[in-house]
């Protein structure tokens, strides 16, 4: 099992770099930066971290709805030539709510757009002699069915029940180079309610960004929206804790081992602990303490 940490790029860059350096010192396998409208430009953050670290893998999440194929390849060309082959690309559709805020409204043929991006990026990177893995960030059934075209897969949920469902959609995930989960996380020694509220909001954003079809398949749609369906503003005040648990990892550090063994038996080989696990140096150390045990 490999363990990664997603770093929230809304903080000041020097603070993000400090967390990346600490993640390497503590022995984590990877750090991840997602390039989204609400966060800093991912390659700049990745370059700043890479300049202060030496071996930790650095993953970047890109949406082809935000960047051209050439822009993505150019970013990887600069990073690899400066810091070596320790970078990975994850292609994701992106959060529709965030994309709409920057003028992206057309989401037809998302699956085809992602597949075409992968093919074009591979072609352009080979022309420039670049070597990096291309993974897929997926949640719904349509996206899961194209997972076999990628080097690896990152599932945007974390409960054993939904992972089992994903396996039925894509076949045998054991055939993948790497199958991971990417989820809001809070592994703690001493519980902090304020940090848990950040976890709740992060998980809520993931759920709000899920398609109606996906929520209906899982049996969550009516529980969330009622029989009349999604309200016009697509928001609601409270999400039941049982649904939050399906999309987030939150537990005392002593209980993490049991969870890891459970999803490892399902074929998962990589866990990326997302915000608010990177809330502070202390929360990152709590995670490392748990993993070391």
pLDDT digits (tens, 9 = 90+) for 197-226: 999 999 998 888 888 888 888 888 887 777
Look at residue 58 and tell me if it is in a domain.
Answer: yes
pLDDT of residue 12: 86
Among candidates 77, 76, 23, 32, which has minimal Cα distance to 54? 23
In the numeric block, the tokens 């390659």 are attached to 43
How far apart CA 288 and CA 293 sit, in angstroms, is 9
Residue in 93, 95, 94, 97 with CA at minimum distance from that of residue 111: 93
- Does residue 56 belong to any structural domain of this protein? yes
Question: Does 229 fall in a domain?
Answer: no
Cis check for the bond before 130: say yes or no (omega within 30 of 0): no
**pLDDT at residue number 101:** 55
Identify the domain containing residue 97 by its residue range. 2-196+247-292
For the four alpha carbons of 16, 186, 183 and 264, in that order, the dihedral sign comes to positive
Total number of domains in the chain: 1
Could you tell me if residue 204 is inside a domain? no
Residue 263 belongs to some domain of the structure? yes
Q: For the chain, what percent of residues have pLDDT higher than 90?
A: 61
Largest CA-CA distance found in the chain, in angstroms, rounded = 55
pTM of the model: 0.91
3-class secondary structure, 87: strand
pLDDT at 107: 58
| Dihedral of alpha carbons 174, 57, 292, 5, sign | negative
Question: Minimum mean pLDDT among 26-35, 87-96, 111-120: which range?
Answer: 87-96
Return left, alpha or beta for 109; rule: phi > 0 is left, psi -120 to 50 is alpha, else beta. left
CATH number at 143 reads 3.20.20.30
Where does the pLDDT of residue 148 fall: very low under 50, low under 70, confident under 90, or very high at 90 and above?
Answer: confident
Is residue 142 in a domain? yes
Whether 218 is covered by a domain: the verdict is no
Which residue, among 77, 9, 88, 84, has the nearest Cα to 50 in the 3D structure? 84
* 143 within some domain: yes
């Amino acid at each position: 099992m490999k363990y990664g940490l997603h770093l929230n790029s809304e903080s000041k860059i020097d603070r993000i770099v400090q967390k990346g350096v600490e993640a390497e010192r503590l022995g984590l396998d990877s750090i991840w930066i997602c390039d989204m409208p609400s966060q800093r430009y991912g390659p700049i953050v990745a370059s700043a971290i890479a300049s202060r670290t030496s071996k930790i893998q650095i993953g970047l999440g890109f949406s082809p709805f935000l960047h051209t194929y050439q822009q993505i390849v150019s970013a990887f060309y600069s990073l690899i030539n400066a810091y070596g082959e320790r970078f990975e690309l994850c292609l994701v559709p992106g959060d529709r709510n965030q994309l709409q805020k920057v003028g992206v409204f057309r989401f037809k043929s998302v699956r085809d757009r992602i597949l075409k991006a992968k093919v074009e990026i591979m072609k352009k990177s080979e022309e420039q002699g670049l070597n990096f893995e291309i993974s897929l960030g997926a949640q719904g059934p349509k996206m899961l069915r194209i997972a076999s075209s990628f080097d690896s897969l990152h599932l945007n949920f974390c409960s054993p029940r939904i992972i089992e469902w994903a396996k039925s959609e894509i076949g045998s995930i054991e055939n993948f180079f790497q199958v991971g989960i990417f989820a809001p996380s809070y592994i703690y020694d001493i519980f902090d309610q304020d940090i848990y509220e950040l976890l709740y909001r992060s998980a809520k954003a993931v759920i709000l960004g899920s398609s109606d079809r996906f929520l209906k398949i899982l049996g969550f749609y009516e529980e969330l929206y009622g029989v009349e369906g999604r309200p016009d503003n697509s928001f609601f005040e409270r999400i039941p804790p049982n649904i939050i648990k399906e999309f987030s990892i939150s537990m005392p550090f002593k209980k993490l081992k049991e969870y890891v063994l459970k999803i490892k038996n399902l074929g998962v080989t990589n866990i990326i602990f997302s915000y608010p696990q990177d809330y502070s140096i202390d929360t990152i150390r709590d995670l490392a303490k748990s993993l070391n045990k």
